[in-house]
Amino acid sequence: MLKLFKLVQDEGLMSQPTAQEIKESIQDLTNYRDRLIKEVVKIAKKLQMPQGKIESTLAENPEIKKIEKAINQLAKQQQEISNH
């Protein structure tokens, strides 16, 4: 997955990934994002943060933003592969 994530960041410095590799990477990144969100929410609730503050913290989290961007880029690549 890290190899493919690096490919997304470097825009084609490696050979093109297969549809299966993209699918697996999207799933891995989605799972990681979900675990990260759960962990942030768990900690925020322990700190008794208001729900609005938790939501804004999640929306502004740079790691979650980075993961979302990678997922979106991979989904685009997946769509391009399926169109060919």
Got the DSSP string for 25-53? HHHHHHHHHHHHHHHHHHHHHHTT--HHH
The answer to whether residue 38 sits within a structural domain is yes
Indicate the number of domains in the chain. Answer: 1
Is this prediction's pTM over 0.85? no
Helix (H, G, I), strand (E, B) or coil at 76: helix
The answer to whether residue 73 sits within a structural domain is yes
Asked if 81 and 15 touch (Cβ cutoff 8 Å), the reply is: no
Asked if 33 and 44 touch (Cβ cutoff 8 Å), the reply is: no
Domain range spanning residue 64?
18-83
pLDDT tens across 14-69, in order? 578 888 999 999 999 999 999 999 999 999 999 999 999 999 999 999 999 999 99
Burial tier of 20 (Cβ tally within 10 Å: 0-12, 13-18, 19+): exposed
The answer to whether residue 31 sits within a structural domain is yes
